[in-house]
Chains A and B, each alone.
Chain A
Amino acid sequence: MEKNVLSPKMLIRKRLFRNKLAMTGMFLLTLIFLFTFLGSILTPYGETEVFRTTETKEQEVAKAECKYKVISVNSVYEPPSSKHLLGTDGNGMDILTRLIYGGRISLLLSISVVAMELLIGTVIGSIAGYLGKWVDALFMRFVDIINCIPSLPLYIILGSIMDYYKLDGGIRICMLCLILGLFRWSAVARIVRGQILSLREQEFIVAAKAAGIKTRHCIGRHLIPNVIPQLIIIATMDLGNVILSEATLSFLGLGVKYPYASWGNMLHTVNNIYVMTNYWFVWIPAGTLIFLTVLGFHFVGDGLREALDPKRKHT
């Protein structure tokens, strides 16, 4: 039996590619990313372009030989046609275009929030875990307090505050990003701290210390690279979870607001029963996209977890 010389990274990559679920997830995500980021090249419409009824109506009226003049109005709730592949929404905007731009906002928001929570969480968690004693104790109490505060009500209250102050849409998105990031880092920090605590006693760290390696080199070169696999899993799963949180908030009308599009706020219209029943194209595509994107992230995250598990039995 010949021994293949595989570095740890290659082993993981090999295991990941054999996982069908993970591959399906990656495929889904690639499609969605392409759709949202390149789709704007395909669609001729702008994000907030509003459409109005056109000459066809005028012609119809003329044919009927009425004395009425046609007043141009927003072409709302038009069913899917060759001009608008998914129809128009309640404001007369093209749904497909809104989906593309909305997706972009949702994904970018998610990436920023996850980056923020990982950065803050890792730094604080590593310091608490490595230094231990009173630093750690203080940190744990702080995390306990943050964990007790219920997140959804908090977001709702902050959202309605932003409503009151009538913040501009763009600023709202930034604020949302900040709020989500600042609230989520404690969970990451807790996991990183746990990992560091268990790694700290492992022999190769003691060996590094025994060889006289400086503390910061110990943390940076030995501890953190061994925490990174866990972080990758957390990042992937959280990318999905943040999209869900943002969608929930936008759905409630407290997140991304008009005129900006977001998959969540496109679903906001279902509160009107008439719209929900008759205009399926307004809400079903948006909801399905949220679902598929989050599912994709979770599939990949699950595959990563299996691939990085040191106790795996066979491929």
Chain B
Amino acid sequence: MKKFLFKRLLQSFLILFFVGLLIYSMMRLLPSSYVETRARTLSQQPGAKSYDEWLVQLKAAYGLEQGILPGYLHWLGNALQGDFGDSWQWNKPVITKFQEVIGYSIFLAATAFILEIFLSIPAGILAARRQYSKLDHTITVVALIGISLPSFFFATILKYLFSVKLGWFDLYGIVGRMHEQYSPFKQFLDVAEHMLLPILTLTITNIGSLIRFTRTNMLEVLHSDFIRTARANGLPEHKVIYQHAFRNTLLPLITVLGSSLPELFGGALITETLFQIPGIGYTAYQSMVNGDIPFSMFYMLFLAVLTLLGNLLADILYAAVDPRVQMV
């Protein structure tokens, strides 16, 4: 187990190194005007240094004078110490801004994730049990609709229906107008209310592929020999499905769930932007369109780390659940 973990972590670091290099190279290809704009902004503050001085300082700070590889190593050196630079958009260290906004994103992602699992897995199992029936077809159609729905369109329809026509929810934002005046509990409810539509959007758009995956897997398991044995031994149908079959479906399901980790955070970008939820996605979006290089680099790397972590987690869980895989 230890040997395996060590090997994987080493591999992951290597991959991360190259991913970082690729991203950094791309950033360096950005027009230099971003730096110049930043220098100009900084120099316009009262009592600041001149534009040229700022330009020189910024370029030195971000290693923009050097070639791509040395610049990357410079950035990497700082990053490993926890210093990702200052965000040009938000005028504070990247890490600080990250810590401020990540909370909302985690809340959004976690709730959507749990909802997805509780809705899609039973639906997939049900569809597989009654293959070719009307219920199966309905569930399949619902799943396909979920995959085909553009998230931004669905979000806008929800806003149109619930915020504009029915007036039940606010259009944007994480808090209502009266937020400051509420008691802490009511403040929490206020935030939750604003999260409702975004969570709904995220859940519906991600639910489709999970339903289909569960259904396909379950079908394959249900046609296995050992299920036939379980039935021949007189086990009631519910035990056959939920004990024998489900345990075997769990294995590939875990892999998929593990790799959906980065999706949750990355995909939420659109939803957060549309509802103006100040999470990591919306923040990153604003940074990216305004040429905030430090924050953008950090965000991309964050997602890359999530991908690798998700895969690693999936592999470990798989080994824990499947006795045929030995973790020596």
Do the two chains touch directly in the complex (Cβ atoms below 8 Å apart)? yes
Residues on the B chain within 8 Å of A21, using CB: 137, 140-141, 144
Measured between beta carbons, the chain A residues less than 8 angstroms from B291 are 160, 164
Q: Which of B31, B164, B288, B296 contacts A164 (CB 8 A)?
A: B31
Which one, B17-25, B92-100, B247-255, B317-325, is touching chain A? B17-25
**B15 on the interface (CB 8 Å rule)?**
yes
A281-312 interface bits toward B, Cβ cutoff 8 Å, 1 = contact, 0 = none? 00100010011001101110010000000010
CB of B189 within 8 Å of the partner chain? no
User: Is B300 a contact of A150 with CB atoms below 8 Å?
Assistant: yes
Cβ of A161 and Cβ of B31 under 8 Å apart?
yes
Residue of A145, A151, A294, A295 near B19 (CB, 8 A) is A145
Cβ of B299 < 8 Å from any Cβ of A? yes
CB-CB under 8 A from B22, the residues of chain A are 145, 149
Measured between alpha carbons, how far is A154 from B284 in the docked complex, in Å?
12
- Does B152 sit at the interface, judged by CB under 8 A? yes
**A152 cross-chain contacts in B, Cβ below 8 A:** 266-267, 269-270
Q: Are B288 and A283 in contact (CB under 8 A)?
A: no
The complex places the Cα of A294 from the Cα of B145 at a distance, in Å, of 9
- For B141, the chain A residues whose CB sits under 8 A away are 21
- Taking a contact as CB atoms under 8 Å apart, the answer to whether A148 and B145 are in contact is no
> A271 CB to closest chain B CB, in angstroms?
9
Do B150 and A290 touch (CB < 8 A)? Answer: yes
Produce 1/0 per residue, B35-48, CB < 8 A to A: 00000000000000
A224 at the interface (CB under 8 A from B): no
Query: B313 within 8 Å of A by Cβ?
Result: no
- B150-193 at interface with A (beta carbon < 8 Å): 150-153, 156-157, 159-160, 164, 171
Would B30 and A153 count as touching, CB distance under 8 A? no
Q: Is the CB of B156 within 8 A of A153?
A: no
Does chain A have a CB within 8 A of B147? yes
Q: Is the CB of B307 within 8 A of A248?
A: no
Q: Which residues of A contact B213 (CB under 8 A)?
A: none
Q: Which of B23, B33, B151, B223 has the most CB of A within 10 A?
A: B23
B304 at interface (Cβ–Cβ under 8 A)? Answer: yes
Bound together, the chains give a CA A84 to CA B151 distance in angstroms of 29
| In the assembled complex, B289 has its CB within 8 A of some CB on chain A | yes
Query: What is the distance, in angstroms, from B310's C-beta to the closest C-beta of chain A?
Result: 10
Residues from chain A with Cβ under 8 Å of B29 in the complex: 161
Q: How far is the CA of A247 from the CA of B308 in the complex (A)?
A: 28
Are B307 and A295 interface neighbours, CB within 8 A?
no
A267 near B153 with CB under 8 A, answer: yes
Q: Known contacts A148-B16, A276-B160; is A153 also within 8 Å of B303 by CB?
A: yes
Taken residue by residue from 141 to 175, chain A's Cβ proximity to chain B (1 for < 8 Å, 0 otherwise) reads as: 10011011111111011101101110000000000
Q: Which residues of A contact B145 (CB under 8 A)?
A: 295
Contact at A144–B148, with CB atoms within 8 Å? no
Judged by a CB distance under 8 angstroms, whether A240 is at the interface is yes
> Is A29's beta carbon under 8 Å from chain B?
no
Assess whether B150 is in contact with A294, with CB atoms less than 8 Å apart: yes
Cβ proximity bits A242-264 to B, threshold 8 Å, 1 near / 0 not: 00100110011010000000000
Chain A contacts with B in 159-216, Cβ cutoff 8 A: 160-161, 163-165
Q: How many residues of B contact A (CB 8 A)?
A: 49
Closest-CB distance, A273 to chain B (whole angstroms)? 6
Quick check: B150 and A150 within 8 Å, CB to CB? no
Q: Beyond A149-B23, A153-B266, is A248–B150 a contact (Cβ under 8 Å)? A: yes
Kindly state the separation between the CA atoms of A298 and B153 in the bound complex, as whole angstroms.
18
A-B contact count (CB 8 A): 116
Interface centre among A148, A247, A254, A298 (most CB of B within 10 A): A148
Task: Say yes or no: B15 contacts A291, CB within 8 Å.
Answer: no
Q: Are B30 and A148 closer than 8 Å at their CB atoms? A: no
When the two chains form their complex, are residues B153 and A290 in contact, meaning their CB atoms are under 8 A apart?
yes
For residue A277, CB closer than 8 A to chain B, the reply is yes
Counting CB contacts under 8 A, is A111 at the interface? no
Cβ of B149 within 8 Å of any chain A Cβ, yes or no, is yes
Minimum C-beta distance from B117 to chain A (A)? 22
Select from chain A the residue with minimum beta-carbon distance to B259: A147
Min distance, Cβ B34 to any Cβ of chain A, angstroms: 8
A307 CA / B307 CA spacing, docked (Å): 33
Say how far A253's CB is from chain B's closest CB, in angstroms. 8
CB distance from B70 to the nearest CB of A (A): 21
Pairwise interchain contact A251-B296, C-beta atoms closer than 8 A: no
Tell me the nearest residue of chain B to A286, going by C-beta: B153
A266-283 CB mask vs B (1 if < 8 Å, else 0) is: 010010010011001001
Question: Which residue on B lies nearest to A24, using beta carbons?
Answer: B141
8 Å CB contacts to A: which residues of B293-314?
Answer: 296, 299-300, 303-304, 307-308
The answer to the question of B26 belonging to the interface, with a C-beta cut-off of 8 Å to chain A, is yes
Say whether B30 contacts A161, CB under 8 Å. yes
Contact at A150–B262, with CB atoms within 8 Å? yes
15 A-B pairs with CB atoms under 8 Å apart are A21-B141, A145-B18, A148-B16, A152-B266, A156-B288, A156-B289, A157-B26, A157-B27, A160-B291, A244-B148, A267-B153, A267-B156, A276-B159, A294-B147, A294-B150
A148-B16, A153-B296, A276-B156 known; 9 new pairs, CB 8 Å cut-off, are A149-B22, A150-B266, A150-B300, A152-B269, A156-B289, A161-B31, A164-B33, A251-B150, A291-B150
Q: Which 4 A-B pairs have the closest CB atoms?
A: A287-B153, A150-B303, A294-B148, A295-B148
Residues of B within 8 A of A (CB): 15-16, 18-19, 22-23, 26-27, 29-31, 33, 137, 140-141, 144-145, 147-153, 156-157, 159-160, 164, 171, 223, 262, 266-267, 269-270, 273, 284-285, 288-289, 291, 296, 299-300, 303-304, 307-308
Q: Which residues of A contact B (CB under 8 A)?
A: 20-21, 141, 144-145, 147-154, 156-158, 160-161, 163-165, 240, 244, 247-248, 251-252, 254, 267, 270, 273, 276-277, 280, 283, 287, 290-291, 294-295, 297-299, 302, 311
